[in-house]
């Protein structure tokens, strides 16, 4: 089951249908926060802003039930797939991929009727179990990436894991555009009523900081966290003055990697030269402090831990100041999940080996979904 923003009012139904029918669930990136992070059938988001289990589940599926999504990347699937598409706007049906069955309906109403029509629990399939195992492996992968190591440069995952501890049950995240979005959708907690806003189709850098202003003005009592890259942040840094002027206690996180990381990865993948992709940064914490915000710059585990504790203290004391956490991170790109070279039935062993080596994804720890499925079949 592939869900999009249309399931906003049907979160409980998505989980119930997934459990009843035994369907792994995948979300589009803007819908990352609409399925609980901790749900055992949730594979995460699919595509370049995605996860390994979601990529593999979608690419091995025979049937995809698309609920409340016009998922643009369906057109790039490389296997034939049947689709059932449910959308309340008829014009959205069959736009990105043919719909074998097209249903004009509200997502919640459709899912409720599905539950009524299938009252008995369906048995768990080997495919679902393999997907659940793949998800567990993925969570272990993220844990490994997020582990703080003394005196080592910070990974984006480690920074966001710590930022996640500042999250409350109804926190709103304003996400910018770039590798920072990929890391954020993977790492931030969405287990309760948290929400995210991002510049989905338009990919407008600079969205994060402005989204923070809008979110905090709209919901003065809720905690608001923005995550931006250094490129996106420096495009709109002047708007921090607006946060200061209106005393908006937004927590703005910058993932500072010294360049346009998202484009660098794109160019590397297509064999283009690394040209014009690096730029100078200011000390953004210093800039923020001079603008009247609370600025904190972190470069390693100790300074990150101390900064998070400082932020907690300010929050506990009823903070009304915007905060800027400028986190200097490694240049490492996120694991490439736009096209994963893992399936032994689809790719040569050499190509798989090269992909695994490039992203430090050893086969014993992070097997392909097809391998996990074969193990399930052996057990049955």
Q: Which residues bind ligand TPP (CB under 6 A)?
A: 177-180, 203-205, 229-232, 255, 257, 260-263
Q: E strands of the chain, at which residues?
A: 2-3, 25-27, 42-45, 63-67, 82-87, 101-104, 172-175, 195-197, 224-229, 251-256, 294-298, 323-328
Q: How far is the CB of 260 from ligand TPP (least distance, A)?
A: 4
Q: Kindly write out the interface string for residues 174-213 of this chain, putting x where it contacts Mg ion by CB under 5 A and - elsewhere.
A: ----------------------------------------
* Between 262 and 359, CB nearer to ligand TPP: 262
The C-alpha atoms of residue 109 and residue 114 are separated, in whole angstroms, by 9
Residue 339's Cβ-count burial label (10 Å; 0-12, 13-18, 19+) is middle
Binding status of residue 232 toward Mg ion by CB under 5 A: no
Q: Which of 314, 256, 323 is nearest to 296 (CA)?
A: 323
Q: How far is the CB of 209 from ligand TPP (least distance, A)?
A: 11
The C-alpha atoms of residue 22 and residue 18 are separated, in whole angstroms, by 5
């806003």: which residue's tokens? 197
**Tokens for 10?**
């049907």
Binding status of residue 6 toward Mg ion by CB under 5 A: no
Count the residues of the shown chain that bind Mg ion, applying the rule CB under 5 A: 5
Stated as kind and residue range, the H or E segment containing 83 is strand 82-87
Q: Which of 181, 171, 172 is nearest to 206 (CA)?
A: 181
Q: Which does 204 bind (CB under 5 to 8 A by kind): ligand TPP, Mg ion, none?
A: ligand TPP
* Between 30 and 261, CB nearer to Mg ion: 261
Angle CA(50)–CA(155)–CA(187) in degrees, nearest 5?
A: 35
The C-alpha atoms of residue 29 and residue 188 are separated, in whole angstroms, by 13
The interaxial angle of helices 179-187 and 126-146, nearest 10 deg, is: 110
Q: How far is the CB of 263 from ligand TPP (least distance, A)?
A: 5
* Between 51 and 376, CB nearer to ligand TPP: 51
Q: How far is the CB of 51 from ligand TPP (least distance, A)?
A: 17
Q: How far is the CB of 329 from Mg ion (least distance, A)?
A: 9
Any idea how long the chain is?
380
Kindly tell me which residue out of 47, 189, 208, 261 binds Mg ion, with binding defined by CB under 5 A: 261
Q: Which does 262 bind (CB under 5 to 8 A by kind): ligand TPP, Mg ion, none?
A: ligand TPP
* Between 97 and 285, CB nearer to ligand TPP: 285
């495009």: which residue's tokens? 235
Binding status of residue 228 toward Mg ion by CB under 5 A: no
Q: How far is the CB of 180 from ligand TPP (least distance, A)?
A: 4
* Between 60 and 236, CB nearer to ligand TPP: 236
* Between 8 and 267, CB nearer to ligand TPP: 267
Kindly tell me which residue out of 68, 164, 206, 229 binds Mg ion, with binding defined by CB under 5 A: 229
Q: How far is the CB of 228 from ligand TPP (least distance, A)?
A: 6
Q: How far is the CB of 281 from ligand TPP (least distance, A)?
A: 9
Stated as kind and residue range, the H or E segment containing 323 is strand 323-328
Q: Which of 160, 220, 217 is nearest to 190 (CA)?
A: 160
* Between 78 and 275, CB nearer to Mg ion: 275
The C-alpha atoms of residue 244 and residue 224 are separated, in whole angstroms, by 14
**Tokens for 224?**
């608001």
* Between 41 and 184, CB nearer to ligand TPP: 184
Q: How far is the CB of 257 from ligand TPP (least distance, A)?
A: 5
- Given the rule CB under 5 A, which of 50-58, 231-239, 266-274, 299-307 is the region that contacts Mg ion? 231-239
The C-alpha atoms of residue 375 and residue 363 are separated, in whole angstroms, by 14
The C-alpha atoms of residue 176 and residue 334 are separated, in whole angstroms, by 15
* Residues at the contact surface with Mg ion, assessed by CB under 5 A: 229-231, 257, 261
């Amino acid at each position: 089951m592939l869900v999009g923003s249309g399931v906003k009012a049907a979160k409980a139904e998505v989980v119930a249908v997934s459990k009843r029918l035994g369907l792994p669930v995948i979300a589009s990136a803007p819908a990352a926060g609409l399925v609980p992070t901790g749900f055992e059938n949730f594979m995460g988001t699919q595509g370049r802003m995605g996860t390994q289990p979601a990529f593999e589940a979608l690419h091995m599926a025979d049937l995809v039930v698309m609920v409340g999504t016009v998922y643009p990347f369906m057109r790039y699937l490389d296997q034939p797939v049947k689709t059932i598409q449910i959308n309340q706007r008829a014009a959205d049906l069959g736009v990105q991929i043919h719909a074998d069955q097209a249903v004009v309906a509200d997502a919640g109403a459709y899912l409720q009727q599905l539950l009524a029509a299938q009252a008995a629990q369906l048995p768990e399939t080997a495919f679902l179990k393999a997907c659940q195992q793949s998800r567990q492996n993925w969570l272990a992968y993220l844990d490994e990436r997020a582990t703080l190591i003394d005196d080592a440069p910070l990974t984006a995952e480690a920074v966001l894991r710590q930022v996640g501890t500042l999250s409350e049950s109804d926190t709103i995240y304003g996400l910018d555009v770039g590798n920072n979005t990929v890391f954020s959708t993977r790492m931030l907690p969405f287990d309760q009523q948290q929400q995210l806003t991002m510049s989905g189709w338009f990919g407008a850098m600079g969205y994060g900081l402005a989204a923070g202003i809008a979110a905090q003005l709209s919901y003065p009592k809720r905690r608001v966290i923005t995550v931006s890259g250094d490129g996106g942040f420096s495009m709109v840094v002047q708007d921090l003055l607006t946060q200061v002027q209106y005393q908006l206690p937004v927590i703005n996180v910058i993932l500072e990697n010294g360049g346009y990381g998202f484009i660098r990865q794109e160019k590397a993948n297509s064999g283009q030269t690394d040209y014009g992709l690096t730029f100078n940064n200011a000390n953004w914490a210093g800039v923020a402090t001079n603008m009247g915000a609370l600025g904190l710059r972190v470069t390693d585990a100790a300074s990150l831990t101390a900064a998070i504790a400082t932020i907690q203290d300010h929050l506990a004391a009823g903070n009304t100041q915007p905060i800027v956490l400028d986190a200097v991170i490694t240049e490492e790109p996120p694991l490439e999940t736009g096209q994963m070279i893992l399936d032994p039935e689809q790719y040569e062993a050499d190509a798989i080996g090269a992909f695994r080596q490039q992203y430090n994804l050893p086969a014993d720890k992070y097997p392909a979904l097809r391998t996990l499925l074969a193990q399930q079949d052996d057990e049955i």
